[in-house]
């Protein structure tokens, strides 16, 4: 079981990096983004410390079960990822990376925490949510992972509570948005925000245990990764898949290749 978890986490990390690599390579050509640099500059995740979530908000899961946010919390600390259920770039790998880190955290899903994914796009359906969940979540974690949706107005309210500001690309029906995970206390307050190319089990464990005791950490961590990507079907290149790719070119490509190689070397199973 631990070996399978390591394999899934390694694959999720590599999937994220490969997505970035494809975007960096794609951007060297002449393709244009639908969003401008000014649009991208508006993207942020900046919640207020100890900010309360709207616990009376109605949210519906992938099985079309509707409860208030307070009921979904169920008196437990939760980890939240905000995602577009029809995203073809980093949303899926990021959801999977958090799930794999939770699997390796030593915490028990349903007892120590629940995992919540909230949809950015109010147009997405229960089927869209279920498809993404099936693709990214498995094992015992699936029973305590909920892919939630809300009305356009309530979606906007929830995003505002998280300090989460995506920018919608109407031409390509996709969102430019930060990749981040939020740890929420049982009372519905934002305790921590985590952002990285991959989420470490130790970070998630510490944040969830602290949140369960009502402690709130620093929200100063900056967003390192932005989801707004290259769509092979449309041939659209994003202006910035992340601040790290702002000057995408040979150095970026080489760095990502070396990072993948490092992940492979770091995994004992890859040594035979």
* Res 178: pLDDT: 86
pLDDT on residue 89 = 85
Distance between alpha carbon 145 and the CA centroid of its chain, in Å?
Answer: 14
Assign 3-state DSSP to the chain and report helix, strand, coil percentages, each to 5.
40, 20, 40
User: Virtual CA dihedral for 204, 11, 8, 173, nearest 10 degrees?
Assistant: 70
Note whether 85 and 132 are within 8 A (CB): yes
Contact partners, residue 110, CB within 8 Å, separation at least 6: 140, 143, 144
Measure the CA–CA gap between 80 and 72, rounded to whole angstroms.
Answer: 12
E strand segments, the chain: 44-45, 58-60, 66-68, 78-83, 114-119, 145-148, 164-165, 167-169, 174-178, 181-184, 190-194, 226-227
**Contact between 156 and 201 (Cβ < 8 Å):** no
Distance CA 262, CA 223 (A): 23
Q: State CA 153 to chain mean position distance.
A: 22
pLDDT at 261: 55
> How far is residue 269's CA from residue 31's CA, in Å, rounded to a whole number?
39
Is 189 in a helix, a strand, or coil? strand
H-helix or E-strand spanning residue 88? none
C-alpha 190/C-alpha 80 separation (Å) is 10
* Domain layout of the chain by residue ranges: 40-235
Task: Write down the CATH number for the domain with range 40-235.
Answer: 3.40.30.10
**β-bridge mates for residue 117, sequence order:** 81, 147
- pLDDT at position 267, please? 52
pLDDT along the chain (272 residues), means of 10: 46 45 41 72 86 98 98 96 93 93 93 97 97 96 98 98 92 88 94 74 86 63 50 32 41 49 52 46
Residue 217: predicted pLDDT: 55
Contacts of 190 (CB under 8 A, 6+ apart): 47, 48, 49, 50, 51, 52, 53, 161, 162, 182, 183, 184, 216, 219
Contact 86, 201 (CB under 8 A): no
DSSP assignment letter at 46: -
Rounded CA-CA distance 38/225 in Å is 17
Asked if residues 224 and 41 have their Cβ atoms less than 8 Å apart, the reply is no
């Amino acid at each position: 079981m631990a070996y399978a978890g390591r394999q899934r986490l390694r694959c999720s990390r590599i999937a994220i990096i490969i997505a970035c690599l494809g975007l960096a390579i794609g951007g060297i050509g002449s393709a244009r983004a639908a969003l401008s640099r000014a649009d991208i500059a508006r993207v942020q995740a900046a919640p207020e410390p100890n900010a309360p979530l709207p616990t009376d908000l109605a949210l519906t899961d992938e099985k079309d079960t509707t409860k208030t946010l307070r009921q979904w919390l169920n008196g437990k600390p939760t980890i939240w990822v905000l995602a577009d259920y029809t995203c073809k770039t980093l949303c899926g790998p990021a959801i999977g990376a958090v799930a794999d880190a939770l699997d390796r955290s030593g915490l028990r899903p349903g007892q120590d925490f629940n995992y919540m994914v909230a949809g950015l796009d109010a147009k997405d359906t229960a089927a869209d949510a279920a498809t993404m969940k099936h693709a990214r979540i498995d094992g015992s974690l699936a029973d305590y992972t909920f892919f939630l949706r809300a009305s356009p107005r309530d979606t906007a309210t929830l995003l505002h509570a998280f300090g989460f500001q995506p920018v919608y690309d109407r031409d390509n029906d996709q969102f430019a948005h930060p990749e981040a995970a939020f740890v929420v206390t049982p009372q519905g307050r934002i305790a921590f925000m985590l952002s990285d190319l991959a989420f470490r089990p130790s970070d998630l464990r510490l944040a969830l245990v602290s949140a369960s005791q009502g402690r709130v950490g620093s929200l100063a961590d900056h967003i390192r990764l932005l989801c707004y990507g290259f769509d092979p079907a449309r041939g659209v290149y994003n202006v910035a898949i992340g601040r790290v790719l702002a000057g995408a070119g040979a150095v970026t490509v080489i760095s990502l290749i070396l990072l993948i190689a490092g992940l492979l070397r770091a995994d004992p199973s890859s040594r035979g």
